[in-house]
A and B are shown apart, each in its own frame.
Chain A
């Protein structure tokens, strides 16, 4: 059970590696990493590689999947070899809404997108607000999951914002963070208690920042576009009020706050201010918030209906700057799959959400192409920072670490066709886009997935 990845461009910010080299995997762990200096590279062209597993391929167990029962060599020449991506914000809909997505299909979409670890939000049915649901998700993921699934528990019972859920017990079962997700805790006292109590366990409280009284009736960003389309608007202030409230509560309590899916310029500014003050706060954004604006809603395309809503060019600019200067730590997907019939409804009635796992990497690579992030920084946003925030000890090629690897061809162009998504959620506003850069091969939990 050996794999040798040869001649890839290895990026591992945890060890400061950004060079051509080889990685040897044995028994699902990193066994050896060999970085070639420039001279060595020149030499190795003539010489044979340092290790010699036979170049045979294991027989596939399923489509695009082969068991590591035998040894193989993967030639990664011209490709990037990254630590497997970590998505700290997905919705897998199981238990309860299996018609939208299951842990099986969701993790399949994840590995296709280069992700080897995903954190699923608690808005299932029943809500993941107790240890038995956590245990179910962990067990189901172990049985059927293509990658590692780490559940995020609810902050309050039933996500109702009234009583704290049994946070400690859920951590024992495997929860790694807490969030009431799309039902933000409106009661400031409860949010304060959550930030205080969670300190016991050193886990972050993830906040979907939305003042529900201000966003009521809104289905898109408030502005000329919402007025023109006659759709209810959600002003940026609905997000910013809660970003600021939670920052103040984090400062008051010293608890660990993580702001989910930042969508506005104002939020970026508030988080930058908080970090300068030394508040214990981290933040994420999603590819759609730096790729498209509210213009995508034109023609009433419900695939562009997402919460927080798509904003404006100005916000995109601020979010990119926030990513560049480190105000925003993480790129997550907020992968929110929905059934086709649910999106094919009155715009007001269609659910919020974008199926994001299979386009996230390509869209994020645009930041590298634009010169906003280096490849190293991108890997920090999509691997190292989430690992650090969630205390996962993942996202590294250190010898002995789990072999979670994404091999990426950054030059591969393709057209986004939702029908070819492996996720059940075909809801993407990027349909028909030609994107560059895709995951060529993912190694996770001892299996190799090729696309």
Chain B
């Protein structure tokens, strides 16, 4: 059983809760492999996707997960809503709640927005990415994928490469993989890795070659184009030359290494196409697993005692 009505972040979850979600996800993955992929579990419930930031894969994944569980789904996207008329976040959320929502899936560019809504609303709030804070379902689907591929997480050498400072995916993964017993390294330029991460007991590498040696799992992060020209790195070309993943660099990792990416990818910048489409890549499996994990999260939250 989960203890909170909301999924705000990995920070807020215990190891037992993480494992419960992963175990439950395995069951839902079986459902997704069937001919009829829909279960009646949450029929009559309503899910609202409240996305204040553009998103294709996460929103679609949540929408499909909600539909597979037989809930009704409403997609609320900002440009067509009253937010453009100046409605406050809280009023928007209260309105959605008053319409009878049971789940609010929220994505917002400001950290802490899901926490604010969770405090003010009765419905279950699921964080689909808030600012540079967390993206818990991504970390859960990543953990699920690693566990599926490697059979375990404890003791694995896992490297996360790229813009750690601005990545909620990296943050949630750091919390979850640490809780699950992996050994973590972060690789990237000093401008993109907060030095405080070292205090958390994580190894930091600024040199790609040093960092890649003998890793079991490699998570590449998308380099956001808007970071260019802000002094984090001089150009995407220089970034790519230093921290892009090439076949040559990949050979430094363990032979059975798996390569992950939360998407969307910048092919040819942080990762070459040979690797993205190659045998070590599990990128598309991550997407499939995301559906199962999100179904598990909604299913478990629906069972939380109020």
Contacts and interface: CB of A to CB of B under 8 A. Distances in A.
Q: Do A and B bind each other?
A: yes
A228 B175 CA distance: 10
B89 A345 contact: yes
Contacts of B130: 230
Contact of B112 (A227, A300, A341): A300
Contacts, number: 56
A80 interface: no
Give the size category of A's interface with B: 10 to 19
B108 A230 contact: no
Residue from A228, A346, A349 whose CB has the most chain B CB atoms within 10 Å: A346
A368 interface: no
Interface in B164-188: 165, 168, 171
Contacts of A224: 196, 199-200
Interface residues of B, number: 26
A347 B112 contact: yes
Contacts of B90: 344-345
A278 interface: no
A299 interface: yes
Interface stretch (B39-47, B131-139, B261-269, B272-280): B131-139
B227 interface: no
Interface in A209-225: 223-224
A231 B89 contact: no
B206 interface: no
Contacts of B132: 230-231
A230 B134 contact: yes
A238 to B, nearest CB: 16
A347 B89 CA distance: 11
A349 B11 contact: no
Contacts of B165: 227
A230 B111 contact: yes
A300 B196 contact: no
A84 B199 CA distance: 47
Interface in B214-251: none
B128 to A, nearest CB: 14
A392 interface: no
A98 interface: no
Contacts of A349: 110
A346 B108 contact: yes
B167 to A, nearest CB: 10
Residue from A223, A229, A230, A300 whose CB has the most chain B CB atoms within 10 Å: A230
Interface string A18-32: 000000000000000
Residue from A227, A231, A349 whose CB has the most chain B CB atoms within 10 Å: A227
A74 B199 CA distance: 58
B196 A231 contact: no
SS class of chain A's interface: helix, strand, loop or mixed?
A: loop
A237 interface: no
Contact of A229 (B108, B120, B133, B199): B133
A227 B115 contact: no
Given A227-B197, A230-B132, A300 B108 contact: no
A348 interface: yes
Given A230-B131, A230-B133, A300-B111, A341 B196 contact: no
A229 B88 contact: no
A230 B168 contact: yes
A227 B194 contact: yes
A348 B130 CA distance: 11
B116 interface: yes
Nearest to A228: B11
A346 B133 contact: no
A224 B200 CA distance: 9
A346 to B, nearest CB: 4
A253 to B, nearest CB: 33
Nearest to B110: A346
Contact of B111 (A229, A344, A345): A229
B160 interface: no
Interface in A299-333: 299-300
A294 B90 CA distance: 25
B292 interface: no
Nearest to A348: B110
Given A230-B133, A230-B134, A341-B88, A346 B112 contact: yes
Interface string A224-243: 10011111000000000000
Interface string B1-40: 0000000000100000000000000000000000000000
Contacts of A345: 88-90, 116
Contacts of B89: 345-346
Nearest to B165: A227
Interface string B196-208: 1101100000000
Contacts of A223: 196
Nearest to B9: A230
Contacts of A228: 11
B116 A346 contact: yes
Nearest to B113: A346
A347 B90 CA distance: 12
A364 to B, nearest CB: 31
Interface string B101-139: 000000011111101100010000000001111100000
Given A346-B108, A348-B110, A299 B197 contact: no
Contacts of A347: 110-113, 116
Contact of B115 (A300, A341, A344, A348): A300
Interface of A: 223-224, 227-231, 299-300, 341, 344-349
Given A229-B111, A299-B115, A346-B110, 9 more contacts: A223-B196, A230-B134, A300-B115, A300-B116, A341-B88, A344-B120, A345-B88, A346-B113, A347-B110
Across chains A and B, which 10 residue pairs bring their CB atoms closest together, nearest first? A230-B133, A300-B112, A346-B110, A230-B111, A230-B132, A348-B110, A224-B196, A347-B112, A227-B194, A227-B196
24 contacts: A224-B196, A224-B200, A227-B197, A229-B111, A230-B111, A230-B130, A230-B131, A230-B133, A230-B168, A231-B111, A231-B112, A231-B132, A299-B115, A300-B112, A300-B116, A346-B89, A346-B113, A346-B116, A347-B111, A347-B112, A347-B113, A348-B110, A348-B131, A349-B110
Interface of B: 11, 88-90, 108-113, 115-116, 120, 130-134, 165, 168, 171, 194, 196-197, 199-200
